Amino acid sequence: MKSRGYLSGLAGILLAGFLLCSGITVLAAPSVEGDTELTVTADEMVAAEYTITNDEAMESVTLTLSYDRELLTYVSGSGGDNFSGNGGNGSVQLSSRPDSKEVSFSVRFQGNEDGNAAVAVTACTIVVDGTEIDVLSGEPVSSEETEEESGEEEDGTRASFVIDERTFYVRRPDDIEGFEAVHLDIQGIDSRVLKHNTLDLYVVRLRSDNGSYRDDFVYNPDTGNVIPFVQMESGNDDVIFIEPEEGVHVPTRYTSVNLGWGPKYEIPALKHVIIDGVDEIQDDTNRYLIYGINQDGEKAWYSYDYDKNSLQLFDDVAYQGEQNYILELEEKEIGLRAEASEQAQRYDRIMARRLYTILILIILVVVLLNVLILMYLRMRKMEMPKEEEMEESGDQSGSSSYVTGNLEENESDFQGPVHWEEEEDEEDDLELEIIDLDDLDDEN
């Protein structure tokens, strides 16, 4: 017995020496380490750290966590190159493409209550040299899924969807509570999906073409569309987000948007808008309306607060009553504005008429003044020749002259009329003789 044990030990030593001499390296299995329990304080942030290592460079890494949603609310995640992450409803999925031997992830939660919250690693896969490896088991991912879908893979015909310019293929779904596995015709291909036990609701498992993303989606057989599978609580209801039905009532002042969900996905939602004139301005809060179905099959709009990750039933009746009151006030305001505008236009018209009237009167007055001035000038021109004729006649009849000489008929005693003008002209040359008429009488 001792010799056999000695020989076994010697054989082990020789084998190890042979491996070392031949240059063969024994690789260790990949591993993941991180926090499994967090001390939580209400309304405060707490972080969990995780590290995945491997002896060879990892092309991509995907880490899935589960947490106590009663004590924790997912806030954000970070880490690695080309990082992407999403979480909520008790689950978090983080992924990156580090192209290195080690990658670290950090997850931030907000505490809802004081206590100790458990966080567990539910899945972790890496891709090395094109091979997907389950880190928790250390073995390549193959087996049942590839066996069940081998016929589809050989034919290269399996249902696919394009999301964010990347192709996602239908894969074998994981088990979900309240669902059972069935086969459904998707795009003419028999595919394995999950159907809700009581609702007409289908869930498919999609995997990206490079294996980096693998998530559940709600499939709508009527439209052939998929949206991320999200299950949340609203009061006593367990709500699953679904695609809005055609012709469903849209509340007043809400517009259709796409709510980003995770790094690549989108969920159809509604966003409240404020009407400013003819423009629609979206509400700046992170509140949306998402169409959902509860456990009783009742479909309705739910108000989702993205920041708080909370969901509640949207009261459309109360909201519509409030909107009707607002619309009534707005109609009154519009009526008052229209009336004020009409009054302003009327005032402008009256003032314009008055201005036109005043302008016309001014023009008439100016024209009349011009006519009067012209008439006056014409009359003046007509009177000026008459005055000249009168002056000429007046000069001839009114000029004073004296007759000198004997009153008897002695022509030599008479002299011609003496004009004052001539007297004035000849005053310097002639000496006038003053004749006294009385003396002349006496002499006669």
Residue 426 belongs to some domain of the structure:
no
Query: Does residue 154 surpass a pLDDT of 80?
Result: no
For residue 228, the model assigns a pLDDT of 94
Query: Does residue 203 surpass a pLDDT of 90?
Result: yes
> Same domain for 234 and 272?
yes
> Same domain for 294 and 374?
no
For residue 342, the model assigns a pLDDT of 86
pLDDT band at 133 (very low <50, low <70, confident <90, very high): confident
d(Cα 286, Cα 300) in Å, to the nearest integer? 20
Residue 98 belongs to some domain of the structure:
yes
- Up-side HSE of residue 231: CA atoms within 13 Å toward CB? 15
**E runs forming strands in 172-264:** 179-186, 189-196, 202-208, 214-220, 225-228, 231-234, 237-241, 254-261
3-state secondary structure at position 167: strand
Query: Does residue 388 surpass a pLDDT of 80?
Result: no
Residue 23 belongs to some domain of the structure:
no
In sequence order, what are the residues at sequence separation of 6 or more whose Cβ sits closer than 8 angstroms to the Cβ of residue 125? 61, 62, 132, 133, 134, 135, 141, 211
For residue 361, the model assigns a pLDDT of 92
pLDDT band at 90 (very low <50, low <70, confident <90, very high): confident
Give percent above pLDDT 90 in the chain. 22
Taking residues 246-265, what's their average pLDDT?
86
> Same domain for 341 and 362?
yes
> Same domain for 54 and 133?
yes
For residue 146, the model assigns a pLDDT of 46
pLDDT digits (tens, 9 = 90+) for 402-434: 445 554 555 555 455 555 455 555 555 555 556
d(Cα 138, Cα 143) in Å, to the nearest integer? 14
CATH number of the domain residue 115 falls in: 2.60.40.680
d(Cα 398, Cα 420) in Å, to the nearest integer? 11
> Same domain for 41 and 98?
yes
> Same domain for 265 and 333?
no
> Same domain for 286 and 360?
no
Q: What's the distance, CA 312 to chain centroid?
A: 26
Residue 155 belongs to some domain of the structure:
no
d(Cα 280, Cα 272) in Å, to the nearest integer? 9
Domain that holds residue 118: 30-139
Looking at per-residue confidence, does 412 or 330 come out higher? 330
Residue 162 belongs to some domain of the structure:
no
> Same domain for 280 and 326?
no
Handedness of CA 365, 368, 372, 373 (dihedral sign): positive
Taking residues 34-51, what's their average pLDDT?
90
* Residue the block writes with tokens 């028999």: 190
3-state secondary structure at position 284: coil
Residue 95 belongs to some domain of the structure:
yes
> Same domain for 47 and 99?
yes
pLDDT digits (tens, 9 = 90+) for 338-375: 888 888 888 998 999 899 999 999 999 999 999 999 98
pLDDT digits (tens, 9 = 90+) for 1-17: 434 344 344 444 444 44
Out of 78-82, 143-147, 405-409, pick the least confident: 143-147
For residue 302, the model assigns a pLDDT of 94
> Same domain for 43 and 115?
yes
> Same domain for 338 and 300?
no
Taking residues 389-408, what's their average pLDDT?
55
- Residue 28 DSSP symbol: P
d(Cα 232, Cα 341) in Å, to the nearest integer? 52
pLDDT digits (tens, 9 = 90+) for 212-235: 788 899 999 999 999 999 999 988
For residue 174, the model assigns a pLDDT of 86
CA nearest neighbour of 238 among 293, 290, 307? 293
Taking residues 98-127, what's their average pLDDT?
88
> Same domain for 250 and 343?
no
- Residue 417 DSSP symbol: P
Q: Which of 348, 379, 410 is the last residue of a domain?
A: 379
The number of domains in the chain is 3
In sequence order, what are the residues at sequence separation of 6 or more whose Cβ sits closer than 8 angstroms to the Cβ of residue 109? 38, 40, 45, 46, 47, 48, 67, 72, 73, 74, 75, 117
Query: Does residue 77 surpass a pLDDT of 70?
Result: yes
Give the DSSP H or E segment for 34: strand 31-34
Q: Which of 139, 158, 185 is the last residue of a domain?
A: 139
Residue 439 belongs to some domain of the structure:
no
Give the DSSP H or E segment for 155: helix 150-155
pLDDT band at 186 (very low <50, low <70, confident <90, very high): very high
d(Cα 97, Cα 89) in Å, to the nearest integer? 25
Q: Which of 346, 379, 412 is the last residue of a domain?
A: 379
Residue 55 belongs to some domain of the structure:
yes
